[in-house]
Amino acid sequence: MKTIEYLSSPDLRPLFLPAIVVVLAIGVLCSLVSVVVVLRRMAFVGQGISHAALGGVGLAAALGLMNSSSGTLGPAQFGVIVGFCMLAGLLIGWMSKRAGGGTGPGHVEPDTAIGVVLVVSMSIGAILLHRFSPRGVAWESFLFGSVLQNDWTSAKVAWGVAIASVLWLAIVRRRLTFWAFDPSAARAMGVGDRWLSAGLMLLLSLATVTAMQLAGVVLATAMLVLPGAIALALSKRAGVVLAVALASGVLGGLLGVVLSFELDWLPGATIVGVLGVAYALALGARALLARGGARAKVHA
């Protein structure tokens, strides 16, 4: 097997092993968030935030931080881009009033808020990059990473973000689960959904930018949607859904990486393909279970 050969070779191991570690971290980071993303219909919020990152890159250029031609983000660059995307996420949440469910004259539909923030952020980024970007620096490399480009420093960053995110989710897990599965009842019971919504937008922004820079925008988007979709297709029980989403993200990412090594396919695209197949199988299993339940009722 090529995977064993890559991981056992002293020359190849530093290239391929960090990629596996990063994928596992992104699986943990994004899979748990994806459950809330799917339940709250926030899939395209991640898309908007990922494109808004261009504004963060432009701001980093204006601050004189884009002085590397390697495409690797330093702590200052990463902080500026993440901060910009967090502000964009909070702005989307505030404009759409998702937390409050507003329908008054000032209410803006979520898709409109995403579109407005997306295009304005990209415009700001384009203007700032045109004015301040140093020559010879490919700004695209600061946005769209590749799994195989990661080193052990990237792996440490990925796991640091993943652990911090899991800790926050563990602290608010009861209220967040209640709010995600039944927002009306949660609001009636006095659960503070405004700060939960704001915290989720910040976490979604952090997860999106981290996964996008380390693994590419396609894989980041898939990881923020498909594990949760797979889990919710198989169960509606909160504990089961979270466990299945986590298993889907981690095992799907690991299987995708192994298949990409064996077949010489692109890792990100292969992982997305594996998760897509898993989702199709989950939908098929749900259909079979529903048909079996209908037949049991008829015979009863």
Phi and psi dihedrals of 105, rounded to 5?
-60, -30
Contacts of 168 (CB under 8 A, 6+ apart): 199, 203
Nearest by Cα to 275 from 215, 207, 197: 215
**Tell me, what's the pLDDT at 271?**
94
Domain count, the chain: 1
Residue 195 domain flag: yes
Neighbours of 98 (CB within 10 A): 23
Describe the crossing of helices 152-171 and 193-215 by its angle, rounded to 10 degrees.
160
Residue 108 domain flag: yes
Residue 86 domain flag: yes
Amino acid at 41: R
Domain that holds residue 71: 18-216
Residue 196 domain flag: yes
CATH number for position 195: 1.10.3470.10
**Tell me, what's the pLDDT at 186?**
77
Averaged pLDDT, groups of 10, the chain, 300 residues long: 89 92 96 92 85 89 74 76 92 70 59 90 91 71 74 92 94 86 78 80 91 87 94 92 96 96 92 96 92 68
Nearest by Cα to 212 from 202, 197, 203, 223: 223
Q: What percent of the chain stands above pLDDT 90?
A: 47
Residue 247 domain flag: no
Residue 296 domain flag: no
**Tell me, what's the pLDDT at 18?**
94
Q: What is the rounded distance in angstroms from the CA atom of residue 13 to the CA atom of residue 19?
A: 10
Q: What is the rounded distance in angstroms from the CA atom of residue 233 to the CA atom of residue 200?
A: 22
DSSP for 62-121?
HTT----SS-PPPHHHHHHHHHHHHHHHHHHHHHHTTTTT--STT---HHHHHHHHHHHH
Residue 293 domain flag: no
Residue 84 domain flag: yes
The 10 Å CB-count burial string (b at 16+, else e) for 1-31 is eeeeebeeeeeeeeebebbbbbbbbbbbbbb
Beta strands in the chain (DSSP E): none
